[in-house]
């Protein structure tokens, strides 16, 4: 999770993992969260994680180097956002096992992310390489 100049972003912006893997989100600068798009989330109006999947929300982390971990058990496409920077497009996507679920085939309402199959094919899509 990065703030650099006037840019706020997740890097990588797209990540592929297998079910049961744990992802660690780390603050590299600024104040950020990693929050799943679920209707229960503070500022999400839609759910964009697979049915039956555990939601996640780091809350806003302030210290450089602070981390948050989440283990992804359910296969599918997960879109997530940063609470403080959602309105300026700070969003990301994780594909677990294979694409699927409500996020598959469309973009989150607050920004652009790589297509799910691109993430699967590449394993990881850096923010710098994404041209969304």
- Number of neighbouring beta carbons within 10 Å of residue 10: 23
For residue range 3-31, what is the model confidence (pLDDT) as tens digits? 888 889 999 999 999 999 999 999 998 89
Q: What does the mean pLDDT of the chain come to? A: 94
Rounded percentage of the chain residues whose pLDDT exceeds 70: 98
Q: Exposure pattern of 51-71 as b/e (b: 16+ CB <10 Å)?
A: eebebbbbeebeeeeeebebe
Output DSSP code: residue 117: H
pTM for the full predicted model? 0.95
Cβ pair 128, 13 in contact under 8 A: no
Q: Residue 132: pLDDT band by 50, 70, 90 thresholds? A: low
The residue-averaged pLDDT of 35-39 equals: 94
Nearest to 111 by CA among 4, 7, 3: 7
């Amino acid at each position: 999770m990065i703030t650099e100049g006037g840019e706020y972003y997740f890097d990588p912006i797209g990540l592929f993992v297998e079910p049961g893997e744990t992802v660690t989100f780390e603050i590299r600068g600024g104040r950020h969260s990693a929050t799943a798009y679920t209707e229960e989330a503070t500022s999400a109006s839609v759910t964009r994680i697979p049915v039956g999947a555990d939601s996640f929300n780091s809350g806003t982390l302030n210290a450089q180097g602070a981390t948050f971990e989440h283990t992804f058990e359910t296969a599918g496409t997960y879109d997530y956002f940063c609470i403080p920077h959602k309105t300026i497009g700070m969003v990301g996507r994780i594909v677990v096992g294979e694409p699927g679920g409500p996020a598959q085939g469309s973009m989150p309402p607050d920004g652009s992310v790589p297509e799910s199959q691109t993430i699967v094919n590449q394993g990881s899509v850096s923010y710098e390489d994404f041209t969304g």
